[in-house]
Structure 1
Amino acid sequence: MTTSCPKYLEEDNLSEEGKKLLSILPKEKGWLGSYAYNYQGFWVPQKFLQAVIAFQQQFQAQDSDIILVTTPKSGTTWLKSLLFSLVNRVKHPIFEPNHPLLIDNPHVLVPFLEHTLYFDGRTVDISTFTSPRLLATHGPFASLPKSVQVSKTKLVYLCRNPRDTFISMWHFTNNLLLDQKDTDSIEEMFNLFCKGVSLYGPFWNHVLDYWKQSIEKPNKIFFLMYEEIKKKPKIQLKRLAEFLECPFSIEEENSGVVDDILKMCSFENLSNLEVNRNGKFSTGEAYKVFFRKGEIGDWKNYFTIEMSDKLNHIIEEKFQGSRLKLLTTHVPFASLPKSVQYSKTKLIYLCMNPRNTFISMWHFKNNLLLHHKYKNSIEELFDLFCTRETLYGPFYNQMLDYWKENIKNPNKILFLMYEEIKKKPKNQLQRMFEFLECSFSIEEENSRVVDEILKMCSF
């Protein structure tokens, strides 16, 4: 592994204060051919440490700010182009001859706070930037200035499959070290990545912190998956527009503005622009190093079985319990764990006419007893049902408890009637999706997604 690095990352350029801080921080040899230092729980290349501190100390967020957040090599360049085009589509109509994206790099149009604006720990006044200010950072949530965390600044977080993130980062850092005698082997860097030593990592901490914040503050933090944008770019771009409160009008959709933005910001278009093929940053890096493949699953061309197994185990361990879960229970409300009752967990309660519930239960139990000599007669089970001896019953108590809780807290509990779903399935499905805060878009309704769901789920 090389320990030399690009000149602009050399420690000689650090201030005395920076050197003093570096002397007491844990460090690892690693990415970019330089040491990485553990600052406030995350790993920073030596040169960017001053910039991170300057960003934390100097930056004052404005309520209208939009900040893109990523771990390095998670699709940042692509999302910067989408974000810039989306927010500025009135000022700069798509594909106009002098559109900024056609003559400049996305990283110039949406600058990094720590890598560009506060680079070298410089003092910079960005209060005069045109509103909304479009900015970017790789910093973990906890490291953001308080003004970002407590203001109405909107954060757009982009996450990518860690396997593809790693491969992209490995290629990227080695491209920056092309003039060095040594480059970093995939095995060395993989071991560091698995240890949590990655740029602004550990990767899992970075992702999980923003994911949790997005759950708690959905109006402030928008959590996107790179793979979802690749698979359904139009839907995800429209979601982003709605989050940023600049939704596409029906006229824009009909005139193809959404498609034009996606076309202009495509990997094929951006990577072939003259500016991105031959342009350079002031620090000397070529713009073209930010364009490699932009594909999903490229990691399969590099990982050994052992590497795949190792990272799978780590991912399962680190992300355990973090994903959205769809679970079911038959228990009464009062018997639910306190964490369910008092958290933001959403409950959907389905009630059915007790007469049909009883008949269905009687048939179900007898079907389970097909191989037994004894079966329950309808009279026996009916008496038990009427005397409240039913599974998770009494039936009436359970139903009434959930109904009362639904009245008290309609944002937490949705009370559905089986008969209403049968009579008006489309209306009830839309009610459920609105309750779950994932309403159908106009496009989805027009393309009959609701009907297709009902058809696929029909008896």
Structure 2
Amino acid sequence: MAPSIGDDDMAERLVVSSLPLETRFPPFQLRQHGGFWFPEPILPDIVAVRAVFAPRPSDVFLLTFPKSGTTWLKALAFATVHRADHPPCAPDHPLRHRNPHDCVEFLEVLFLRYEEMLGDPVGNMRKLAEFMGCAFSGEEEAAGVALEIVKLCSIGALKNVEANKSGAQNYVKNEAFFRKGLAGDWSNHMTSEMAALLDGVIEDALQGSGLAFPAAESM
């Protein structure tokens, strides 16, 4: 006999099925929840997490816009925190064989601007390490450990890892996480009017948070 669906699970499914539906992003159906559009298959998990999630003082969050360094930042964070167990030059380093999303198992959070990371990856990674409580020692700086981690996590290196050329994460192919590694490509896909509209939405959403981003025209 198939396992029965609990009352909470059934309620979640009913809630999701009643939300506004869009099919403009094949192959996913999108449902609107809390003012945002989510792929339907993952929305029940998102609803459940939002209902019970309680952050801990030790949690670290990596927050990015889509296609602006999420996978890169996750790789940098993993390589920095675990550099003692996995030296960046080691041929058996996990990032040489596994997708960065497989290496970080739980939600973490941190803010860095993508354009600034591209301009000074080593300097921004030092900020990342210090934020996570594992700043580079003088000996590590002298040995070039920070630079080695940046090289290990470069888009060229990660795109060539076999695990990142195949497989998938939550219905998305791993190769989709590695694009150009450049800033400003929005201008090839959006008009200035569209970019200005998005800038306005983001500015309103971040108002009072202390976080700000440069307007699209300045990037």
TM-score by length of 2: 0.78
Output the CA distance in 2 between the equivalents of 1:36 and 1:65: 29
1:155 aligned counterpart, secondary structure: coil
Contact 1:70–1:76 at 8 Å: present in 2 too? yes
Tell me the CA shift for residue 293 of structure 1: 1.4
Aligned partner of residue 194 in structure 2, secondary structure: helix
Give the conservation status (yes or no) of the 8 Å contact 2:88–2:148. Answer: yes
Identify which of 305, 311, 316 aligns with 2:194. 311
Whole-angstrom CA distance in 2 between matches of 1:62 and 1:321? 28
Bigger Rg, which one: 1
1:241: which partner in 2? Answer: 129
Q: State yes or no: 1:294 paired with 2:181.
A: yes
1:48-77 deviations in whole A, cap 9, x for unaligned? Answer: 111112323454544323232334322111
Q: Pick from 95, 110, 118: which aligns with 1:230?
A: 118
CA distance, structure 2, for counterparts of residue 319 and residue 32 of structure 1: 25
**Of 46, 51, 54, which aligns to 2:45?**
51
What is the one-letter code of the residue matched to 2:191?
S
CA pair 320-276 structure 1, distance change in 2 beyond 3 A: closer
1:68 corresponds to 2:45: no
TM-superposed CA distance for 1:242, in Å, is 1.5
Match of 1:280 in 2: 167
The number of residues matched between the two structures is 201
Structure-2 change in CA distance of 1:313 and 1:58 (3 Å): closer
Return 5+ residue gaps in structure 1 as ranges: 1-14, 112-134, 137-153, 157-222, 324-342, 346-459
Q: Which residue of 2 aligns with 1:27?
A: 21
260-269 or 232-241, larger mean C-alpha shift: 232-241
Closer/same/farther in 2, CA of residues 240 and 309 from structure 1, 3 Å limit: same
Please, which of 89, 101, 111 is the counterpart of residue 83 of structure 2? 89
SS of residue paired to 1:70: coil
The 3 A distance-change label for structure 1 pair 60 and 98 is farther
Tell me, what secondary structure is at the counterpart of 2:191? helix
Contact (CA 8 Å) 1:18, 1:49: kept in 2 or not? no
Amino acid aligned to 2:90: E
| Counterpart position of 1:11 | none
Amino acid at match of 1:235: G
User: Deviation at 1:268?
Assistant: 0.7
Distance 1:249 1:311 in 2: 45
Matched, 1:155 2:42: no
One-letter identity of the residue aligned with 1:249:
S
Q: Name the counterpart of 2:142.
A: 254
Question: Alignment partner of 1:30: what SS?
Answer: strand
Q: 157, 180, 188: which is aligned to 1:269?
A: 157
Cα distance change on mapping 1:66 and 1:321 into 2, 3 Å: closer
Instruction: Report the identity percentage.
Output: 37
1:238–1:247 contact (8 Å) kept in structure 2: yes
**Aligned mates of 1:42, 1:317 — CA distance in 2:** 16
Match of 1:234, SS state, is: helix
CA distance in 2, matches of 1:56, 1:322: 18
Aligned partners of 2:99 and 2:163 also within 8 Å: yes
CA offsets, 1:367-388, max 9 Å, x none?
A: xxxxxxxxxxxxxxxxxxxxxx
Shift of residue 284, structure 1, vs aligned partner: 6.4
Distance 1:56 1:95 in 2: 39
3-state SS, counterpart of residue 164 of structure 2 = helix
Aligned amino acid, residue 37 of structure 2: W
Distance in 2 of aligned mates of 1:285 and 1:228: 27
Distance 2:201 2:171 in 1: 37
* 1:239-261 alpha-carbon deviations (Å, 9 max, x no partner): 11121121111111111001000
Mapped contact 2:67–2:179 kept (Cα < 8 A): no
CA distance in 2 between partners of 1:320 and 1:49 (Å): 26
Other structure's SS at 1:66 match? coil
CA distance in 1 between partners of 2:54 and 2:71 (Å): 24
- What is the rounded CA distance, in whole Å, between the counterparts of 2:205 and 2:21 in structure 1? 29
Q: Deviations over 1:225-284 (max 9, x none)?
A: 11110011111111111211211111111110010000000011111122222x313766
